[in-house]
Amino acid sequence: MKEIKIQEIEGFKIGNAQNIEGATGCTVIIAPKGASAGVDVRGGGPATRETDLLRPENMVQKIHAVLLSGGSAFGLEASSGVMEYLKELGVGFQLGELIVPIVCQASLFDLGVGDPNAYPTKAMGREACIAAQDFNFEHGNFGAGTGASVGKLLGFDHSMKSGIGSCAFQTGKLQVGAVVAVNACGDVYEPNSSKHVSGLYDPETLSFLDSEQLLVQMSETRAHENTTIGCILTNADLTKAQMKKVAMLAQDALARTIRPVHTSNDGDTVFAMASNLVEADLNAVGVLAVKALEQAIVIACKSARAAYGLRGYQDLRK
């Protein structure tokens, strides 16, 4: 097994678009030839589009893009720009002479970070598609991670800047990777360890606090501006039902790196897309998906720069 760039996974194009001043953005993953796909929604406050369509029993078997965005429910507008762009390229579900691109989306809440009236628009969705043609994708304060933050149990004074990250692996011909925007209520740790990466921070003692310990001591939590959203990409030849299972398995990565996770204040959502090019075992894809998403979550936090009054990972290394 070797690590590869997310852009190397066959059958996909990825692009970012962002409004830096407004502290919001979006990241699109396009499958020009379509992809079998599934989704798993665990958080209690999701903002999503076309997730019911991904139920295995429903008609459409392939989708053409996943959009990860900021803006909460307002940001769902951005996928209309993705649909319009793909239709112009002739990419979509064929209905006689009509073409309907199938675009799924999940949004995170970043409205409290920068301009509360700024959110990803139809034009920004289109901009992300144009960026994807040149694989214009970076980690950190870009795309859906532009306004992302973590460790929000005590408010933004104790929060840290996070962002978007990716990681991918290849074994033989099989490629599996993950893209994720980390905007969790909880803290981020190195996988399966007690080593903090980012999260609830005490500026007076210059040390991390434990969100889980504080949560169980609180009578009420008010941290509602959360959600970790991501997408697994693979060139494996798997069905829609199998990709639903991959998305479910991938949620283990969140449980291994984010504490607490899947709370009623989060809208944690993981998509999974397969370009159907290489025969592969479902469980092997699931194992690699978890490993890739674990590392992508950590990378999203370590790549984030200080912004909007929030500390970044690099600030703690000084």
Q: For 219-241, what is each residue's pLDDT tens digit?
A: 565 655 678 999 999 999 999 99
Q: Is residue 314 over pLDDT 90?
A: no
Q: Is residue 285 over pLDDT 60?
A: yes
CA distances (Å), origin 225, targets 185, 192, 285 = 7, 25, 32
Q: For 30-57, what is each residue's pLDDT tens digit?
A: 999 999 999 999 877 889 999 999 999 9
Q: Is residue 68 over pLDDT 90?
A: yes
261 or 274: which leads in pLDDT? 274
The values of phi and psi at residue 168, to 5°, are: -150, 150
User: How much of the chain exceeds pLDDT 90, in percent?
Assistant: 80
d(CA 17, CA 26): 6
Q: What is the pLDDT of residue 147?
A: 97
Q: What is the pLDDT of residue 263?
A: 78
Q: What is the pLDDT of residue 204?
A: 86
Rounded to two decimals, the pTM is 0.95
Q: Is residue 306 over pLDDT 70?
A: yes
Structure-token pair, residue 124: 């920004």
User: Strand pairing of 24-41 and 13-19?
Assistant: antiparallel
CATH class entry, domain 2-316: alpha beta
Q: For 117-154, what is each residue's pLDDT tens digit?
A: 999 999 999 999 999 999 999 999 999 999 999 998 88
Q: What is the pLDDT of residue 223?
A: 56
User: How much of the chain exceeds pLDDT 70, in percent?
Assistant: 97
The domain segmentation of the chain, as residue ranges, is 2-316
Q: Is residue 297 over pLDDT 80?
A: yes
d(CA 79, CA 244): 21
d(CA 307, CA 303): 12
What is the Cα 202 distance to its own chain's centre? Answer: 27
